[in-house]
Structure 1
Amino acid sequence: MPHAVIVAHGQPSNPAPAEAALARFARQIDSLCHRVSVHSATLAAPDALETCLDELHGDIAIYPLFMAKGWFVTKALPKRLGSRSVRILDPLGIDPQLPFLVKSALHQKLENLGWSAPDTDLVIAAHGSGRSNNPATVAHGFADTLGQLVTFKSTRTGFVEQSPSIAESASGCGEKALCLPFFACTGGHVLEDVPQELARANFAGQVMPVISELPQVEQHIAAILDAI
C-alpha cells in the first residue's frame, strides 16, 4: 500500500498541540481514503518528519498542507527530505479546484442559514506575510476566482501579517456575513488572531471552518492521495 504524509508548518514555540491536531486531521483523511495509508508530521516538531518517513516503506508522497508554494514547500521541505525518494505534491492553497469546492461549501452554509449570497458579505481571513508577496497573491487570486463563481454583496480579504488587517476588511459588514479562514490548519491564528480581529470589527456574522476542514475539501484531498 502506498503512503501519503500530510505535512504542515506547526508551531515552533509549542510543537505538541499542532502535531496532535494534524494527526487528527490525517486520521480523518485516512478514513476517507481507500488505497493509501495517510500519516502526518509538522516541520516544527523536531525530527517528526524524518522519523515518520523512516518508518514507512514503498511509494511515499508528501501532501503539503500549506496555502502557498513558498519557501517552506520549495526549500525547507526538500532540505528535510535529504536523499529520501519521496514525491512532493502541490500544496492545498494553489489547487485550481479549491475555489469550486469552497463555492459548494458556501452555498451549503447559505442554504442552512436561509441567506442569499447577494445579501451576504464575505470576509476571507488570510495569513499574509511581511516578507513575501506570494501568500497575499495566492489569497487575492483565490478571492478573485471565488468572486466570479459566487456573487456576494461584498468579498473582502484581510490579513494577519499585513494590511489590510482582518479587522479593517471585516468592518462595516452587516449581520448577514460569513468569514472564511483561508488557513491550512486550525492553529493559533484561527483560534486566536481571527476571532480577535473580528471582535475589533464588531463582526456579527458566522465563521466558517478553516478551509482544509470543509467536508468538500477533505474529500478532495482524500481523492488526490488515493490517486498517487
Structure 2
Amino acid sequence: MTRSAVLVAHGAPSDPATQERAMADLAARVGALLPDWRLRGATLAAPGALEHAMDGLDAPLIYPFFMSAGWFTTTELPRRLILAGKGGARCLAPFGADPGLPDLARAAAEAGAAAVALDPARATLLLAAHGSSRPGAVARASARAAAALARRLATRAFARVEVGLIEEAPSLTEVARAARSRGPGLCLPLFAQAAGHVRDDVPRALFEAGFTGLVLAPIGAHPKVPALIAGALAQAE
C-alpha cells in the first residue's frame, strides 16, 4: 500500500495563494526523498485547501508545519480534520518540536555568521519568534518552544542566545535594542513560513531597535528542512 502524508501550515489569510504554492513546493521536495509516498501540502488559511489535499488519501499522516504545539495544532487542525471526514488521521509532532531542529538552527546561525565574518564567540544570536497575546498554557506554547530552543543553543558557539517575541514580552524590539548595545549580532526568525511576520513584523521590530545585524531566512526555509520532515515521516511508519 502506498503511504501518504499531508503537510499542513497556517498560511496567510491575506495572501493564501502564495503560501499554498510554497507548501506544494515543500511537499514536492519531501516527496523526492520519499519516492514511494504520496505527499501533498496545504494551509489552513486557504478555503478548501486542506479538504482538497486529503481527497483520495485513505489514512494519510498529518505533518503540522508549525513551530509549536499551540492552538492551531491542538485545536483548530483536529477540528478541520473532523470536518473533512478525516478525524482519525494521525497527527505527528509539529516541525518546531523535531529533535533535529536545534542542530539545524545552530548550523544556520553559524553559516550566517561565517558569511559576514562574524565571530560567534563575540556575538548575540537573536531568535525572533511569534509569541501570543492570549492567556493560557496553550497560547504560551510558542514562547516556551523558542525559550527551549534558546537553552539548547546557549552552550554552543554564540556568546549569548536571546529570544524576542512579536506578540508578547519580551518584545523583539526591546531584546534587539539591548543586543545591539552589547555589540555584534544576528537574527534567526523561528517561523515555518516566510509570510507576514517574517516579511513585515520582524524587519519592523528590528528597524525600531536600530538593529543592523544580519537577518537570516526563517528556519522553515532552510534547505535541509525537507530531509528533516522526510525523516520524521519515515520514522512514524
Question: TM (normalized to structure 1)?
Answer: 0.90
Gap runs ≥5 in structure 1: none
Is 2:156 the partner of 1:153? no
Question: Residue 178 of structure 1 aligns to a residue in which SS?
Answer: strand
Q: Is 1:88 matched with 2:91?
A: yes
Residue type of the alignment partner of 2:55: D
What is the distance in 2 between the residues matched to 1:14 and 1:104?
31
Give the stretch that moved more between structures: 173-182 or 84-93.
173-182
* Distance change >3 Å, CA 56–CA 123, structure 1 → 2: same
State the 4+ residue runs in structure 1 displaced beyond 6 angstroms.
Answer: none
Of 187-196 and 47-56, deviating more is 47-56
SS at match of 2:45: coil
Q: After superposition, give the CA deviation of every residue in 1:193-227 in whole Å (9 maximum; x if it has no partner).
A: 11111111111111111111212333211222244
1:16 corresponding residue in structure 2: 17
What SS does the aligned partner of 1:156 have?
A: strand
Q: Which residue of 1 aligns with 2:224?
A: 216
1:103 aligns with 2:106: yes
Between 1:98-107 and 1:202-211, the stretch displaced more is 98-107
- The answer to whether the Cα contact below 8 Å between 2:30 and 2:229 also exists between their aligned partners in 1 is yes
Segment of structure 1 superposing worse, 76-85 or 118-127? 76-85
Question: Which of 143, 146, 164 is the aligned partner of 1:139?
Answer: 146
Moved more, 164-173 or 14-23: 14-23
Following the alignment from structure 2 to structure 1, what is the Cα–Cα distance between the partners of residues 94 and 81?
16
Match of 2:74 in 1: 74
Q: 2:169 aligns with which of 163, 166, 176?
A: 163
Q: Taking structure 1 as reference, are residues 109 and 34 closer, same or farther at Cα in structure 2, changes over 3 Å only? A: farther
Cα distance in 1, alignment partners of residues 10 and 111 from structure 2: 30
- Deviation per CA, 1:37-84: give whole Å up to 9, x if none: 321111111121112112334x41111011111221122111211242
Residues 106 and 20 from structure 1, CA distance in 2 versus in 1: closer, same or farther, beyond 3 angstroms?
same
Identity %: 40
Amino acid at match of 2:100: Q
Q: Is the 8 A contact 1:33 1:223 kept in 2?
A: no
Structure 2, unmatched stretches of 5+, are: none
Give 3-state SS (helix, strand or coil) of 1:215's partner: coil
Displacement of 1:26 in angstroms is 2.3
Q: Indicate conservation of the 8 Å contact 2:28/2:39, yes or no.
A: yes
Aligned length: 226
Tell me if structure 1 keeps the 8 A contact 2:70–2:140: no
**RMSD between aligned alpha carbons?**
1.9
Give 1:182's match in structure 2, choosing from 161, 165, 190: 190
Distance 1:203 1:183 in 2: 19
Alignment partners' CA distance in 2, 1:158 and 1:122: 11
Q: Report the Cα distance in structure 1 between the residues aligned to 2:227 and 2:116, rounded to whole angstroms.
A: 23
Structure 1 residues 34 and 226: alpha-carbon distance in aligned structure 2, compared to 1, 3 A threshold: farther
